[in-house]
Amino acid sequence: MKWLFSLFKKQIKENQINMKKFLIVGLGNIGSEYTNTRHNIGFKILDYFASKENCSFQTMKLGDIAEYSIKGRKLIFLKPNTYMNLSGKAVKYWMEKENIEKENILVITDDLNLSFGSIRIKAKGSDGGHNGLKNIQLLLNTTEYPRFRFGISDQFKKGQQVDYVLGEWNEDENSKLTERLDLSIKIIQSFALAGLNNTMNEFNGK
Give the SS3 label for residue 145.
coil
**What angle, rounded to 10 degrees, do the helices at 41-52 and 171-193 form?**
70
Active site annotation includes 130: no
Selected catalytic residue, list 21, 38, 39, 130: 39
Q: Which residues pair with 105 in a beta bridge?
A: 23
150 alpha carbon, distance to own chain's centre: 11
- If DSSP codes are grouped into helix, strand and coil, which group holds residue 101? coil
Alpha helices in the chain (DSSP H): 2-18, 41-52, 87-98, 131-140, 161-165, 171-193, 196-203
Contacts of 200 (CB under 8 A, 6+ apart): 121, 122, 123
Helices vs strands, H then E, count in the chain: 7, 7
Give the span between the Cα atoms of 205 and 200, in whole angstroms.
9
Give the 3-state secondary structure percentages of the chain, helix then strand then coil, rounded to 5: 50, 20, 30
Residues with catalytic function: 39
